[in-house]
Amino acid sequence: MKVIDTGQTVTIEHPEKWGFTSHEVSFNSRYPGEEHLVLGITIQLNGPYGCVPLLEIDTVESGTIISFPITLFRVTDERTSRYWQARFDSDSGLFTLWPELFYTHAFHDRLSNGEEELEKRYRELWRLMEAEHREESD
């Protein structure tokens, strides 16, 4: 799946419910006009953006994965990845479509902390997902 950043802004309703102190919290797109590979999708029932899907995107292919509300993007290629697995956690209310690697214990924290072996596995996954998109586009 690929998306293009539309340059829009999303406002969180009832920010106090999510621990924000401001009466209005906005989330701005960061890369207007740029296309991104979607690495996964997270939907939190009754989350800060309502029940809006969050796209897992590595904007600079650096291992820094950020969750962006889908409303900031326009889908340019709706094909899902063969690497995605669907899971639902009833305790947290999270429904995810992620690659298996993302389900590794503390994956996002360990990747952000620069765990070398995990970074290597992540870069390989990113390469495979990007190649998957290119081969299907031909």
DSSP-derived secondary structure for 11-48: EESSGGGGT--SS-EEEE-SSTT-EEEEEEEEEETTBB
Please report which confidence band the pLDDT of residue 65 belongs to, taking 50, 70 and 90 as the band edges. Answer: confident
Tell me the pLDDT tens digit for each residue of 74-94: 999 999 999 999 999 988 888
Can you give the pTM of this predicted structure? 0.80
Domain residue limits, the chain? 2-137
pLDDT score, position 40: 96
Between the alpha carbon of residue 40 and those of residues 7, 19, 20, the distances in Å are 21, 25, 26
pLDDT score, position 126: 92
